[in-house]
Each structure stands twice: as C-alpha cells, then as structure tokens.
Structure 1
Amino acid sequence: MRTVLYKIGGSLLSDSSLFNRLDAYLSQREEDEFPLLLFGGGPVVDVVRGYDKQYGLGEESSHQLALQGMELNAALAVDRLPKAFPVYSAMELEVARRKLTGRPVLFVCSLIEELEEHKELEQNPNGLLPPTWNTTSDSIAAWLTQKLRLDELRLVKSITAPVWQELKSGTSLAVDPEFSNWLDGIPDLTWLDFQTESELVYLKSSTGKLG
C-alpha cells in the first residue's frame, strides 16, 4: 500500500464542509493508499505575518510561530476529521505506517526538530529547512516526503495545478519559492484542486507519467 502525504492548503479551512468532504475523499481511496495529513497555516499564519510586520519579529522567529500555527490547524483536524489522530515523532509515525489504520495528522514542530537533528542531516546543511518566509507548508511537505521516504506528495489546494516547468524553475506562484529545491527528492507529485474537486493531476511520477 502506498503512503501518501496529503498537504491540505490552509485556505481550504475557510470551508466548513472541508472535513466532511475530505473524509469522503479519503474513504474512497483507503484500499490503495495510507494517508498522512499535513495542514497548512492559512489564516493563522496570516496573523503571524501581521505580527512580524508590527513587531519586527524576524524571519526565524516568525517561522517558528508559523509552525505552531500549523499545529493549531492540525489539532482542529484531529478534532473534526473521522479516524484522525496526532503524530508528533518519527517513531509514532513508523508505528502508524506499520499498522496502516486511521489517519495520522502530522504535528510539525517536534517532528521537524527530530529529523533535522539526524546525523545525516547535520553533515549536510543543504538538507535543513531554511527558517524563512520562503519556506511555507508546501516546502515542509516536500521536505518531509523526501526525509521520510514517502511514496507520494499530494498537494490539496483551492487553485488549479500549475505548469510543471514553472514548478521546476521555481517561478510558480502556486507554491512557495523554496519548493523547487526539494522536487528531486519526491518520487510522485500530484495536485488536487479541492475547491472544484476536479481530476487528480499528475505533475511528477517515478514511472515517468506527467500531467
């Protein structure tokens, strides 16, 4: 069974039907996929951006607050999405992947800290996430897909899929500027416009399929 990281765009949280629709979508695919869920910051992170401008927090402090904002949305998902449960560490995630039950929701603060402390990453500074505003939940999801050796990253957004060449070149406005730096480490990348619930778009595939 494939392990798929669903990165849920924070803007989708403005739709009160999100969790019901997400439950229905995941239920249709549960025989073929084991989902991991990562929720973006959305309006919560917009508050952090405002604080940064008002108080001059700086990018590193703002980045950490934004991660905590993502965890607030993760807690909301655990409360509202059927079968959802929190995952705070690589060990908890490994147990969940062995059991293949439920819907793990990733709490990123401790998980990222743990993975960045790994000796392999310490010897490779390029393997660390830059703590800047250019690193949003898109890049975090791509980074986690690579570091956790997941089968696929599925970006669930409220907009249509971008052109592949724009993603590759880092010029797409549909993702953050840092995202292209992690593309090579993603086996499969798909895009779902959950605003219109259109067809899944294949952007990158280990089998060579592109959409």
Structure 2
Amino acid sequence: MLQRRVVKVGGSLLELPDLAIRLRRWQSAQVPSQFIFIAGGGRLADAVRGYDEIHQLGAEQAHQLAVQAMSVTARLLAELIGERPVISDWQVATRETTNVMILDVVDFLATIEPSIAGARLAHSWGATSDSIAARVAIAASADELVLLKSRLAPQASTMPAASAAGLVDECFPRVAASWTTVRVVNLRDDAFAEQRLIAMPEKSSDR
C-alpha cells in the first residue's frame, strides 16, 4: 500500500520564482508516496495579523480570517505547480487516490479537527500552518509529516527547542507530540538540507 506523506509548504516559499522546480526536485528524491500538500498563509496571513493588530479583531475572528488566507494560498500553490487538484472536502480527500493533492484546510478545521484525538488547535496566532499540518497528518493516518521551510535551526533538535527558535509555532510541540520525529527541509537550500525534530521525552518521576 502506498504510504501517505503530509507536507506543509511554508508561506514564505511561495515567493520563490522557481518553487515549482524545487518542489519537483525534492519530491522526486523521496520514497514514493501519496503527497498531501498544505500551503502556509504567507503574506496573506501576515496581512491578517497586521489588521488584527490595528483593529483588535479578536482571536477567533483573526484565526478564521487566517485560515481563509490559507484557502487562497492553496489555490496559488496549485496554480504554481500545475495540474494538481485542490481538495476542500475532507471526505473526498481521504478517498483520493492521486499521488499528489493540495488540501484546502477550511472544511477540515471546521468539521474534522475538533473531533480527532490529541491536543486541539488553539484559535490564536500561536497555532499556524505548522500545527494545522500536524493535525491533518494525524487525521489522515499519515506515515510522515514534513515541513518545508526557508531555513533550519540546527541547534534545535527537539520540538520545544525549535518552537523557541521560531522554526515552528508555539503550539506545535503539544499538537505534534504524538509524532516520534518530524522532518524539516530547507527548500531554499539547493541541496535541500534537513533536520529531524523529536518530541521532548517525558521526564521520569523519582520514586
């Protein structure tokens, strides 16, 4: 059975003129699997954040607007890489057999995410597309979660350390705790340098 890999494409990568070429190169070097791509909010989410700072929209409203921004960037990603379906219905996504799809997360977050196991997403700026991708990976029973970024944080080997270094969002260590390791790839690097983040092991109690 073909493995399933959830891949978050960082919003900053949407600014790369050769993003499609880099994605194809990276993808061709991976173990064959079904790829579920999730696009970060990028500049659109940053714009929502800016308006939130000006107008004090509130956590819930700002969260919903940022999620809608990801709906736009999903379609932008599809346009850039060409001939890839954007799936907005989660039930359709789970039955999809194509090797590559792009997920619009709006329906998933509204109807599926609240009911799946694990830590719920906070509706705040502390939970970005990193944490959303982790929740998708759990719901999809994915074999791997990969975060494509514009940089690495080599000194950070654990999820909490990566969060402190600003590589992943504040909620990610809690939301992604069920993953033994998560792979982070610098897609701007021509060699696609990568690192693996491990969940912080629980401290053993003294008896």
Shorter-chain TM-score: which interval? 0.7 to 0.9
Decide whether aligned partners of structure 1 residues 32 and 161 sit closer, same or farther in structure 2, where only a CA change above 3 A counts.
farther
Partner of 1:34, secondary structure, is strand
Distance in 2, matches of 1:65 and 1:173, equals 22
Distance in 1, matches of 2:136 and 2:179, equals 9
Partner of 1:209: none
Runs of 4+ that moved beyond 6 A: none
Partner of 2:149: 157
Partner of 2:165: 172
1:103 to 70, 92, 100: 100
**Range moving further from structure 2, 70-79 or 17-26:** 17-26
Contact map agreement 1:151 1:187 (CA 8 A) in 2: no
Partner of 1:182: 175
Partner of 2:101, secondary structure, is strand
TM-score of the pair, normalised by structure 1: 0.83
Distance apart, 1:203 and its partner CA? 2.8
Decide whether aligned partners of structure 1 residues 184 and 41 sit closer, same or farther in structure 2, where only a CA change above 3 A counts.
same
What letter is aligned with 2:56? G
Contact map agreement 2:14 2:77 (CA 8 A) in 1: no
Distance in 1, matches of 2:113 and 2:134, equals 14
Distance in 1, matches of 2:100 and 2:37, equals 7
Distance apart, 1:114 and its partner CA? 1.6
Distance in 2, matches of 1:43 and 1:170, equals 20
2:166 is the alignment partner of 1:201: no
Superposed CA deviations along residues 1-48 of structure 1, whole A, max 9, x for unmatched, are 32111101101111111122212322343x622211001011111110
Contact map agreement 1:8 1:156 (CA 8 A) in 2: yes
TM-score of the pair, normalised by structure 2: 0.85
2:53 is the alignment partner of 1:59: no
More helix by share: 1
Percent identity of the aligned residues?
A: 28
2:138 is the alignment partner of 1:138: no
Matches within 5 A, 1:10-29: 10-29=11-30
Contact map agreement 1:9 1:157 (CA 8 A) in 2: yes
